[in-house]
């Protein structure tokens, strides 16, 4: 085939050494990444430069950050340059990261290089969804990023810009802009940066104050700003209660349990009563009393009654499982709306609307039905399948619209039916089996009994998450029974739990179980 392509001479507009200044900004929602990008573009254009910006949006709920990319350079002999739309690894002058692990991801992408890149980043952490939903401690290791920065970047400006921006009443984009001005990468004066911010009007005063503070901090003229203090944790002496029935249960609890377990048991009692009612709280204390009796019989005093303390925590968690009723109740509470408004820093004249994705399955619906009716349905898979095809549909629910709020509020009010439901019967049977294994274990191996109780950490969440955790829990409990008579049974139980928590896929847990089977 003959090539008939018309080829035109395209001589270079200038020497190869003439190149734009390139900047990549990695920011999360609400941090002003778009505003920062506009500021930099406006800064360049105010000096007669040609500037271009693009962005690749990330995903909501902190699963990914948006990457903004800017190229800017002065025109050559009146001719405008053709600028790139995306950053090229090894060819970025400035990388600005609004969060520490995002700086690490920029290094992994090759955007930060030791011969060219100035890295400007905040060293605070904003945990990703993957870190939050891990069954165990899923927090990424920041030390790996710290070590890489010193090797990967030509220059670095790293400090807690989040704390600095909060202290000055602005957002982190203003702090990043100030650090950029301090770096000297762009050939513009400090006053030029301030002119750009001042032209913004609303919020300019706080942004300028944050800019100045970040500029001085990057120059080493001021110390770091300490992060805001976290709310104090609950003390061992909770606030008194106004409900006389709950107060009576607390008095009973203090009489029946050792002092070492009182604080945890009181927190557990409140949780169980909030989940259901006073009668359910009394059942919690009944079970806890019997577990404490087994603890005493196993010389628990010599172990500081660790078995009772652990049981107080994990029994409350087991009895307060997440079902459809619980989820609907939590989503319609005024305290939940107040918390969301606080996190969003909502102004008095702003309205809040929340849209949530819900995907109920027929299993959840059957779980709320009376146990007899649910089992009758379960024996008819054809009918269950027909119903599931109509129920198992993803829905976007506007939580605080009146129709959806009333629907969820009605479901949340079904707690009076909960103890007759199939889900409650299944949870109770599962709970009782777990406690029997723990009680049998503590009689012969005290630490093993404690470890069995702690295995309840594997069960959490709702729907598919709950099912996966429950599967791991059952596997771990079955494996514990195989090595219950060994002297090192407690160590193996801990390994099983840690393996299950570490690996969401469950491969590490399966590996430990296979090892146990070789000598059990």
Does CATH place domain 21-218 in 3.40.720.10? no
Q: CA–CA separation, 206 vs 200, rounded Å?
A: 11
SS (H, E, C) 185-206: CCCCCHHHHHHHHHCCCCCHHH
pLDDT of residue 368 exceeding 60, the answer is: yes
Reported as a single tens digit per residue, the pLDDT across 114-133 is 999 999 999 988 776 666 66
For 303, half-sphere exposure in the C-beta direction (CA atoms, 13 angstrom radius) is 20
Nearest alpha-carbon partner for 318 in 465, 459, 415, 439: 459
Would you state the structure tokens that stand for residue 503, as one six-digit string?
């690996």
Would you state the structure tokens that stand for residue 374, as one six-digit string?
């649910």
Reported as a single tens digit per residue, the pLDDT across 316-330 is 999 999 888 998 898
Mean local confidence (pLDDT), 489-512: 86
Mean local confidence (pLDDT), 281-290: 95
pLDDT of residue 111 exceeding 60, the answer is: yes
Q: Which residue has the higher pLDDT, 61 or 158?
A: 158
pLDDT of residue 61 exceeding 50, the answer is: no
Pairing mode, strands 395-398 and 355-358: antiparallel
Would you state the structure tokens that stand for residue 272, as one six-digit string?
């169980």
Q: Provide the percentage of residues in the chain whose pLDDT is more than 90.
A: 47
CATH 3.40.920.10 range(s) for the chain read: 21-218
pLDDT of residue 62: 45
Q: CA–CA separation, 404 vs 87, rounded Å?
A: 44
Would you state the structure tokens that stand for residue 86, as one six-digit string?
């995306």
pLDDT of residue 232: 45
Would you state the structure tokens that stand for residue 220, as one six-digit string?
């080493």
Distances (CA, A) of 502 to 241, 310, 464, 477, 499: 39, 21, 18, 17, 5
pLDDT of residue 58: 64
Residue 64 confidence class, pLDDT cut points 50, 70, 90: low
Reported as a single tens digit per residue, the pLDDT across 386-441 is 999 988 888 888 888 888 889 889 999 998 999 999 999 999 999 999 999 999 99
pLDDT of residue 197 exceeding 90, the answer is: yes
- Residues, the chain, total? 520
Token pair 């909501």 in the structure block, residue:
60
Q: Which residue has the higher pLDDT, 349 or 81?
A: 81
For helices 446-454 and 306-319, angle between their N-to-C axes, nearest 10 degrees: 20
pLDDT of residue 6: 60
pTM: 0.69
Mean local confidence (pLDDT), 375-394: 91
């Amino acid at each position: 085939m003959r090539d008939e392509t018309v080829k035109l001479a395209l001589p270079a507009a200038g020497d190869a050494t003439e190149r734009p200044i390139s900047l990549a900004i990695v920011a999360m929602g609400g941090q002003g990444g778009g505003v920062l990008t506009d500021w930099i573009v406006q800064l360049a254009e105010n000096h007669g430069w040609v500037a271009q910006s693009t962005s690749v949006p990330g995903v909501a709920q902190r699963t990914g950050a948006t990457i903004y990319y800017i190229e800017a350079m002065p025109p050559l002999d009146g001719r405008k340059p053709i600028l790139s739309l995306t950053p090229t690894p090894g060819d970025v002058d400035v990388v600005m990261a609004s969060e520490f692990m995002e700086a690490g991801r920029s290094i992994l992408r090759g955007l930060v290089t030791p011969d060219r890149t100035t890295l400007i980043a905040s060293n605070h952490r904003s945990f990703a969804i993957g870190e939050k939903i891990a069954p165990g401690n899923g927090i990424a290791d920041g030390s790996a990023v710290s070590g890489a920065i010193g090797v990967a970047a030509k220059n670095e400006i790293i400090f807690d810009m989040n704390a600095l921006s909060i202290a000055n009443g602005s957002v982190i984009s203003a702090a990043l802009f100030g650090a950029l001005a301090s770096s000297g990468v762009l050939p513009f004066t400090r006053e030029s940066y301030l002119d750009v911010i001042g032209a913004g009007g609303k919020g300019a005063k706080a942004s300028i104050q944050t800019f100045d503070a970040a500029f001085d901090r990057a120059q080493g003229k001021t110390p770091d700003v300490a992060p805001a203090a976290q709310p104090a944790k609950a003390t061992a002496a909770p606030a008194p209660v106004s409900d006389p029935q709950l107060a009576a249960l607390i008095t009973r609890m203090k009489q029946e349990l050792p002092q070492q377990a009182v604080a945890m048991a009181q927190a557990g009692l409140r949780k169980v009563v909030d989940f259901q009612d006073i009668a359910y709280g009394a059942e919690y204390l009944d079970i806890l009393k019997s577990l404490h009796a087994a603890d005493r019989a196993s010389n628990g005093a010599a172990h500081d009654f660790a078995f009772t303390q652990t049981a107080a925590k994990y029994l409350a968690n087991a009895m307060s499982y997440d079902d459809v009723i619980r989820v609907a109740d939590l989503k319609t509470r005024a305290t939940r709306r107040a918390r969301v408004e606080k996190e969003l820093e909502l102004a008095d004249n702003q309205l809040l609307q929340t849209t949530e994705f819900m995907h109920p399955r027929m299993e959840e619906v059957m779980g709320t039905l009376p146990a007899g009716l649910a089992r009758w349905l379960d024996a008819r898979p054809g009918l269950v399948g027909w119903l599931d095809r109509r129920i198992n549909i993803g829905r976007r629910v506007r939580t605080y619209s009146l129709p959806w709020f009333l629907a969820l509020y009605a479901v949340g009010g079904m707690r009076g039916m909960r103890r007759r439901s199939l889900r409650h019967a299944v949870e109770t049977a599962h709970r009782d089996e777990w406690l029997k294994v723990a009680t049998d274990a503590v009689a012969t191996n005290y630490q093993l009994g404690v470890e069995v109780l702690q295995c309840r950490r594997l069960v959490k969440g709702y729907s598919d998450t709950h099912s996966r955790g429950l599967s791991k829990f059952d596997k771990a409990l079955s494996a514990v029974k195989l090595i219950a008579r060994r002297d090192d049974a407690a160590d193996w139980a801990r390994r099983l739990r840690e393996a299950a928590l570490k690996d969401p896929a469950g491969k590490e847990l399966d590996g430990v179980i296979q090892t146990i089977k070789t000598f059990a």
